[in-house]
Amino acid sequence: MPVSYEYYSPQRFGDPTTLLTTPVNIYTFDEKSIMKQLLVTNIFNGLLTFSMYLVPSGQVLKEEYKLFGDVQVDANTVLTIDLNQVVYPGESIYAHANVANGVNFVLSGVEIVNPAVTD
């Protein structure tokens, strides 16, 4: 009976991105993946907020796809959010902040490599 295995490849999903006040496409997934950690850095001298969306394949950004809404990040700090969110090919992550160029955004996790089948 064949046995299949899934392999996990650590990934940073997209480049570190400075958010704008309009939603920015952070990453569109090519493979089934798991988002594991989000680092949000406030490089501004005041409290800022950010929002993040998970948009299904073939859809446009809507409020109903919001994963995090108006999360506060204190001045000159880094907020670490641990996740365990499965995402599928074609889904996209978008994010924005309440002030342009004040929040940096880095998303990482694992990509699920196509399973190998052995005899």
Length of the chain: 119
**Residue 41 placed within a domain:** yes
Quick one: pLDDT band at residue 5, thresholds 50, 70, 90?
Answer: confident
**Residue 119 placed within a domain:** no
**Residue 2 placed within a domain:** no
pTM score, two decimals? Answer: 0.90
- Identify the CATH number of the domain in which residue 93 sits: 2.60.120.260
**How far separated are the first and last CA of the chain, in Å rounded?**
6
Looking at every residue in the chain, the average pLDDT score rounds to 94
Specify the number of domains making up the chain. 1
Which residues form the domain of 40? 8-114
**Residue 81 placed within a domain:** yes
**Residue 1 placed within a domain:** no
Residues 7-52 pLDDT 10s: 899 999 999 999 999 999 999 999 999 999 999 999 999 999 999 9
Helix (H) or strand (E) holding 41: strand 33-42
Judge contact between 63 and 17, C-beta under 8 A.
Answer: no
